[in-house]
Amino acid sequence: MKFATLAAAALLALGTGAAHAEVTEQDAIQAQVAGAMASGDYASANCPNLTVDKERLAEQIKKSGKTAEQLRASEDYVEQRDGIKGIAATNKAPWLCLLLPLAHGGYGRGFVIEKE
103: helix, strand or coil: coil
Length of the chain equals 116
Q: Per-10-residue mean pLDDT for the chain, 116 residues long?
A: 49 50 87 97 96 96 97 97 96 94 92 93
Is the distance from CB of 40 to CB of 111 less than 8 angstroms? Answer: yes
Give the span between the Cα atoms of 2 and 10, in whole angstroms: 12
The predicted model scores a pTM of 0.81
Q: What is the pLDDT of residue 11?
A: 53
Domain ranges of the chain: 2-16+25-114
Count Cα neighbours of 3 within 13 Å in the Cβ-side half-sphere. Answer: 0
* Exposure string over 52-91, b if 16+ CB within 10 A, otherwise e: beeebbeebbeebebeeeebbebebbbbbbebbeebeeee
pLDDT of residue 45: 96
pLDDT for res 23: 77
CB 66 within 8 A of CB 20: no
